[in-house]
Structure 1
Amino acid sequence: MDETRLSRRGLLAAASAGFAGAVAGCTEPRADNSIEGNSSHGIDRDNLADGSTYTDVYEGIIDSVTQIRAFGVDDPVTGEEGRGQGSGFVIDDSHVVTNQHVVAGAEDVDLQYINGDWSSTRLVGTDYYSDLAVLDADHVPDAATPLSLDDERPVVGQQVVAIGNPYGLEGSMSAGIVSGVERTLSPPGRQFSFSDVVQTDAAVNPGNSGGPLVDLDGDVVGVVNATSGENIGFAVSATLASRVVPSLIADGTYEHPYMGIGLRTVDRLVAEANDLSAATGVIVTDVFAGEAAAAAGLRGSDETVERRGEPIPVGGDVILALDGAPIPDRHALSTFLALETSPDDTITVDYWRDGSEQSTTLTLGSRPEV
């Protein structure tokens, strides 16, 4: 753990002693009359109330959170060129982390820090499959110390805050808890799922995307990504970001492991249709030619039957474990691959076929480029 992280943890831990109780996409290009908040750096901080633990977290983090302006993006409704907006945070002495979709297609990307400073940037790398991107900033204020990606996985009930710029309202903070972990999120318009997603009830809205979701020690537990309903938000986990971001800085890209299968969680209907004794595991619905699963001899479903008006796959292998780790559902499979494996790794697959448990080895490939 580096000295920056220790100092931030020390400051915030002292403030939180004895404390008890207490995913948003980027905005579309905006018209001139849309909401835009005033910078909070003009506040007279010598004449404020004492605040709370949350105030101390905010003060320890806010200098490192940026507002992102992406110029030259296309309006998804009109198709006209405009401006997008999101959030980001400083990860080292020159790099800023945000979401890939915040900067996708932009001709220029500028940052504004809470002290009012502006900076131009260069795009270092993006990863479509985790929706992460890294920018190289021409200017980082001295007060914008790097934030740390938490090396401990969050737990349900843990207190967190989201800091960013919803609807362009600079320097906003919302508080909540981690309300779910190891989620698999299927974003609109993308033919894949994000792995190891953190769910929170902290309010996040358009413009929060790319900003940090932090714990009360000031460590980043997730990169805010999206929201799909009221009182629920999502963030790409710090655990996954800690694998992706260094690769983006070093190489500009990140390769995700790939089995080359379609799958579905085994629920009661799938178990009954396939004569399984328990509703656990994932059934292979498709095996893609030329990919890792095909080379390993895994078998996909050869038919479907209808149960309660729903097509149910029949006949595919049911994956029970990977390298000895139980795989009760598709979330567990996705998380295991994302956090425990890399392309070219060889793993053991335990599966159920034709009334008996079997095993094979599989050498992982790389997810196809978009």
Structure 2
Amino acid sequence: MATATSLVLSTFFHCSSSKLSPFPSPSLPNSLHLHKYRPFLPFSPSKLFLLPTSSPNPPTSSSPSCFLKFNLPKPSLPSPFDSLLLLCTSVVLSSSLFLADVDPASAFVVTTPRKLQTDELATVRLFQENTPSVVYITNLAARQDAFTLDVLEVPQGSGSGFVWDNEGHIVTNYHVIRGASDLRVTLADQTTYDAKIVGFDQDKDVAVLRVDAPKDKLRPIPIGISADLLVGQKVYAIGNPFGLDHTLTTGVISGLRREISSAATGRPIQDVIQTDAAINPGNSGGPLLDSSGNLIGINTAIYSPSGASSGVGFSIPVDTVNGIVDQLVKFGKVTRPILGIKFAPDQSVEQLGVSGVLVLDAPANGPAGKAGLQPTKRDAYGRLILGDIITSVNGKKVTNGSDLYRILDQCKVGDKVMVEVLRGDQKEKIPVILEPKPDES
């Protein structure tokens, strides 16, 4: 065994063919040391045990062959110590093969990692980190079978939402849950829970649900700020369009401080975010995120003149949503001030050739009725007598219903506002104390 450590590899190459003459063996070195040729071996052994070739006679030049001949020293009998050392080494190597936790496929197959750009990696990471916060909402309605008269629950719509806190509150759009007799929320791990309505705000199209899910399954979404957004910055929308599983669409902010009307009440929603990220049916109620993964809005509507799913998307800013959700969680409703009037469509007032809001009705128990605003009515002969036309509130000009709503959104319940009206040919100023909006069923 000791002589094997200083093994000398003697090689003799003998090749012949019809085109090449045999190399003369004297031109080759008689011996090649192993340590000089270790880089050419598939492994780097410290000891190499070789057996001499079985054919003592080299082939003749007429046989086109190449062979290696190894001259090995005559092995000596191993000592008992060397045998014991070899046995221990074999046991250790065998044990390591059984104890090593190596995947047999990955141990021999080397896969090249997919090369992604920096922005691609950031997008992938954003989707993976925020997907657990997005939920799927199913709107169920009670329907009576025409033949059996049994009452069944059938899905009448679906949408998206996101986890607001660890208490199980889910935020979505009001139009997603409108008219529902029952609601179900499916989390990212595909577990489904019955949801209860905590409260909703029809004017701003926001609703809050609650599910009794374990806290370890609830992943609240990080809340951002929408006041410092800029046109051109990247945004990401996550939702469940067309009932599909979590889907990511990307785009940029294409406009700020837009105004849309609530689908339920027609009341304007100010400071809406306009984006070119695809918002399809089923995306409603889902989150709109910035490049840091923070919530900046709720995907609400899409404006498409062609009626297709492609168009301009709109999202309610998170600064508006934050205040609404806090009131809904605490009180179950939003205490928004109202004048307590019903007014005519803007087109009707334009036909009269005046600018303002025509009062159609002012209930006596409402703020405007208590202050003395006059509604539109008919006299004893059936002739129409126009009511007061509101031209300004607190010195701010009112040309249509959106202007009136915009001014009231800046006021609080209990504030006294000065309402200027056109009554006949005269202008009058009437103080009105704003009251909260009545409860909605």
Q: In which range does the TM-score fall when normalised by the shorter chain?
A: 0.5 to 0.7
Instruction: Indicate yes or no: 2:149 matched with 1:82.
Output: no
Instruction: Indicate yes or no: 2:164 matched with 1:91.
Output: yes
Which of these residues, 269, 273, 281, is aligned with residue 206 of structure 1? 281
In 1, Cα distance between the equivalents of 2:339 and 2:433? 8
In 1, Cα distance between the equivalents of 2:322 and 2:284? 18
Given that 2:185 and 2:195 are in contact with CA atoms closer than 8 Å, whether structure 1 keeps it comes out as no
| Gap change, CA 1:155 and 1:334, over 3 Å in 2 | farther
The unaligned stretches of length 5 or more in structure 1 are 1-45, 304-312
Deviation by residue 1:44-67 (Cα, 9 ceiling, x = unmatched): xx7462344655554453332222
Given that 2:226 and 2:317 are in contact with CA atoms closer than 8 Å, whether structure 1 keeps it comes out as no
Q: Mapping of 1:20-59 within 5 angstroms?
A: 47=114, 49-50=116-117, 51-52=119-120, 54-55=123-124, 57-59=126-128
Which residue number corresponds to residue 238 of structure 2? 163
Q: Mapping of 1:243-282 within 5 angstroms?
A: 243-263=323-343, 270=349, 273-274=352-353, 282=356
In 2, Cα distance between the equivalents of 1:351 and 1:181? 29
Given that 1:88 and 1:97 are in contact with CA atoms closer than 8 Å, whether structure 2 keeps it comes out as yes
Which residue number corresponds to residue 259 of structure 2? 183
Given that 1:182 and 1:332 are in contact with CA atoms closer than 8 Å, whether structure 2 keeps it comes out as no
1:155 positional shift: 6.6
Amino acid corresponding to residue 335 of structure 2 in structure 1: E
1:166 positional shift: 0.5
Given that 1:160 and 1:178 are in contact with CA atoms closer than 8 Å, whether structure 2 keeps it comes out as no
Which of these residues, 177, 198, 206, is aligned with residue 125 of structure 1? 198
Which residue number corresponds to residue 359 of structure 1? 429
Given that 2:230 and 2:253 are in contact with CA atoms closer than 8 Å, whether structure 1 keeps it comes out as no
1:203 positional shift: 2.0
In 2, Cα distance between the equivalents of 1:344 and 1:103? 31
Q: Mapping of 1:95-244 within 5 angstroms?
A: 95-104=169-178, 105-113=180-188, 116=189, 118=191, 120-129=193-202, 130-137=204-211, 138-141=213-216, 144-148=219-223, 150=225, 152=227, 159-174=234-249, 175-179=251-255, 181-187=257-263, 190-193=264-267, 195-196=269-270, 198=272, 200=274, 201-227=276-302, 229=304, 230=308, 231-244=311-324
Which residue number corresponds to residue 318 of structure 1? 390
Higher RCO by CA contacts (8 Å cutoff, separation 6 or greater): 1
99-108 vs 83-92, which deviates more? 99-108
Question: Larger Cα Rg: Structure 1 or Structure 2?
Answer: 2
In 2, Cα distance between the equivalents of 1:315 and 1:156? 44
222-231 vs 205-214, which deviates more? 222-231
SS in 1 for 2:187: strand
1:211 positional shift: 0.8
Q: RMSD between aligned alpha carbons?
A: 3.9
Amino acid corresponding to residue 166 of structure 2 in structure 1: D
SS in 2 for 1:260: coil
Higher strand share: 1
Which of these residues, 130, 133, 138, is aligned with residue 64 of structure 1? 133
Given that 1:117 and 1:141 are in contact with CA atoms closer than 8 Å, whether structure 2 keeps it comes out as no
1:271 positional shift: 5.9
| Gap change, CA 1:272 and 1:207, over 3 Å in 2 | closer
| Gap change, CA 1:365 and 1:168, over 3 Å in 2 | same
| Gap change, CA 1:140 and 1:176, over 3 Å in 2 | farther
In 1, Cα distance between the equivalents of 2:420 and 2:280? 42
Amino acid corresponding to residue 181 of structure 1 in structure 2: R
| Gap change, CA 1:337 and 1:253, over 3 Å in 2 | same
| Gap change, CA 1:124 and 1:82, over 3 Å in 2 | closer
The unaligned stretches of length 5 or more in structure 2 are 1-112, 379-384
Q: How many residues align?
A: 304
| Gap change, CA 1:100 and 1:186, over 3 Å in 2 | closer
Amino acid corresponding to residue 185 of structure 1 in structure 2: S
SS in 2 for 1:162: strand
In 2, Cα distance between the equivalents of 1:297 and 1:157? 49
Amino acid corresponding to residue 273 of structure 1 in structure 2: L
In 1, Cα distance between the equivalents of 2:241 and 2:228? 26
1:119 positional shift: 5.1
TM norm structure 1: 0.66
Amino acid corresponding to residue 352 of structure 2 in structure 1: A
Q: Mapping of 1:14-25 within 5 angstroms?
A: none
In 2, Cα distance between the equivalents of 1:153 and 1:355? 46
Amino acid corresponding to residue 340 of structure 2 in structure 1: G
Which residue number corresponds to residue 73 of structure 1? 141
1:258 positional shift: 1.9
Deviation by residue 1:277-311 (Cα, 9 ceiling, x = unmatched): xx6xx3224132222122223344569xxxxxxxx
Amino acid corresponding to residue 134 of structure 2 in structure 1: V
Identity over aligned residues, as a percent?
25
| Gap change, CA 1:349 and 1:240, over 3 Å in 2 | farther
1:272 positional shift: 7.7
TM norm structure 2: 0.57
Given that 2:170 and 2:209 are in contact with CA atoms closer than 8 Å, whether structure 1 keeps it comes out as yes
Amino acid corresponding to residue 287 of structure 1 in structure 2: D
Which residue number corresponds to residue 330 of structure 1? 401
